[in-house]
Amino acid sequence: MSSTTLPADFLWGFATASYQIEGAAHEGGRGDSIWDTFCNIPGKIADGSNGDVACDSYHRWKEDIELLKSLGAKAYRFSISWSRVIPLGGRYDPLNQEGLRFYQDLVDELVKADITPMVTLFHWDLPQALYDRYGGFLDREEYVKDYVHFAEVMFEALGPKVRHWITYNEPWCSSILGYSIGQFAPGHTSDCTKSNVGNSSTEPWIVGHNILVAHGAAVKLYREKFKANQQGQIGITLNGDWTEPWDANDPADVAAAQRKLEFSIGWFADPIYKGDYPSSMRDQLGERLPRFTEEERELVQGSNDFYGMNHYTADYIKHLSDTARPDDFSGNGEILKDNKEGVSIGPETQSPWLRPHAIGFRKLLGWISNRYGRPTIYVTENGTSVKGESQLPVEQAIHDEFRCQYFRDYIEALVQARNEDGVDVQGYMAWSLLDNFEWAEGYETRFGVVYVDFARNQERRVKDSAKVVADTFTRLCRG
Ligand code: GBH
């Protein structure tokens, strides 16, 4: 194989998430999730919007599959709305057959179209009833049992046709954004200007721990009860930005950049691949970081058949000299977009946290591969917003050269990581198939390779970037 090709069976395609695209929030028997509730709190979503209609994919899913087909996609990653399937969420609560049918039909049609379904069980939309009943993720006993039951329902319903399962999307976000900063549902934080519930110094670490245990328990169930027949793979998807030291000549910044990777990625991946949290986290957090019981460790260690990697950007990290604050979650470093020389990590986008830096993708693929013993990696999200895109008339927005260049650069970095650095990356899903509900930013920020006209009936228009992704992989995958 030459250094500029990918194997013919390389799994490439596009990704979405239930609450961001489905709409039909109060239809088809769906129960509320914590995001329905969160969107109703004034001031939480930039444009005051919500996912009630979103891309209306609950009704237009066939059109979405046509789009995937027209692009030649090999795979489609989507997530399940737990409260659409079990409106009240719990293991003794009734199933909603109409919700299950929706996902079964979707999977059937994808398979007919020769598109591999990649199913994320959980992309942040926890059933509200479970939060009301026992505080959701905070209750290790109840939460883990309810999650495993939900997973079992889905393995049974979709398993015969699904070979790729993702237990969780970005537990870092559920923990830190949901329970430390309070920027995401359910909005817990110690910052009393934002919320009167939460404890940023303890809750995020408990939430992260319980999600890891739930992931491990669902994987155990899959392996024991379904894997032999269904022949699928299961893993977790973690987010992580690459880091560079703010001052490359300062060993304290070099160490802080490494610590930031451990606090964001190692937090979840170390227990899965090595059996415990990184020592840098234990050192800083002490007993605020839960400890694994022997039983939990057994569930979690070795629980990934593949590593799901979401990646968008990079940061410069500057060490902080004082003792870490109780609400610190970055390993006691400052996260900056300019380095000591004032050089930006990359050009600005619509998202304050995101600046393209493709070489960081290659470096992070290498870091993960080395630290965790060369796991199979599926890139489950990668993409960018474009500064000012929402202000553009559709005829201009669809010519998204900035996003096209992002994809060219990042896909090239992936090919180099695979073919020159020996990283075992076997798939790539661009984020996102559609412009969609971008969480706290509402509809002000677009990530789609397909434009969605939210003012005109959710009409879809393919952007140039969709063709760049499709053409690039079609060319690379000739074998
Ligand atoms: C992905 O997360 C999500 O999986 C997807 O649903 C979402 O649409 C997509 O990003 C685009 O945003 O506000 O400074 O605290 C990407 C990883 C990690 C990016 C947390 C935003 C927040 C930084 N995210 N980060 S900050």
Spans of all domains in the chain? 11-476
The neighbour count for residue 333, using CB atoms within 10 Å, is 26
Q: Is the pLDDT of residue 479 over 60?
A: no
- pLDDT tens for each residue of 285-319: 999 999 999 999 999 999 999 999 999 999 999 99
- The arithmetic mean of pLDDT across residues 94-116, rounded, is 98
Confidence at residue 3, expressed as pLDDT on a 0 to 100 scale: 75
445 C-beta closer than 6 A to ligand 1: no
- Is pLDDT at 161 greater than 90 in this prediction? yes
For the question of residue 381 being annotated catalytic, the response is yes
User: Tokens in use for 404?
Assistant: 């096209």
169 lines ligand 1 (CB under 6 A): yes
Q: Determine how many CB atoms are found less than 10 A away from the CB of residue 342.
A: 6
Q: Is-above-0.95 flag for pTM?
A: yes
For ligand 1, atom 8, name the residue with the nearest CA: 438
Mean pLDDT of the region 366-383:
99
For ligand 1, pick from 122, 239, 385 the residue to mutate: most ligand atoms within 8 Å of CB.
Answer: 239
Best residue among 261, 265, 439, 444 to mutate for probing ligand 1's pocket (most ligand atoms within 8 Å of CB) is: 439
What's the average model confidence in pLDDT over 124-146?
98
- pLDDT above 60 for 1: no
Confidence of residue 417 (pLDDT cuts 50, 70, 90): very high
pLDDT tier at 4, thresholds 50, 70, 90: confident
How far is it, in rounded angstroms, from Cα 473 to Cα 470? 5
Chain mean pLDDT for the chain:
98
Percent residues over pLDDT 90 in the chain: 99
Taking alpha carbons only, the member of 218, 249, 246, 247 closest to residue 234 is 218
Q: What is the pLDDT of residues 236-250, one digit of tens each?
A: 999 999 999 999 999
**pLDDT tens digits for 200-223?**
999 999 999 999 999 999 999 999
- 438 a catalytic residue: no
Residue 447 CA: nearest ligand 1 atom is 11
115, 68 Cβ separation under 8 angstroms? yes
Minimum CA distance residue for ligand 1 atom 17:
239
262-268 average pLDDT score: 99
**312 touches ligand 1 (CB under 6 Å):** yes
pLDDT at 370 over 80: yes
Indicate which atom in ligand 1 lies nearest the CA of residue 439.
Answer: 8
Residue range 354-375: mean pLDDT, rounded: 99
For residue 429, pLDDT over 60 is answered with yes
- What is the assigned CATH class of domain 11-476? alpha beta
Cα–Cα distance for residue pair 214/422, rounded to 1 Å: 32
Q: What proportion of the chain, given as a percentage, has pLDDT over 70?
A: 99
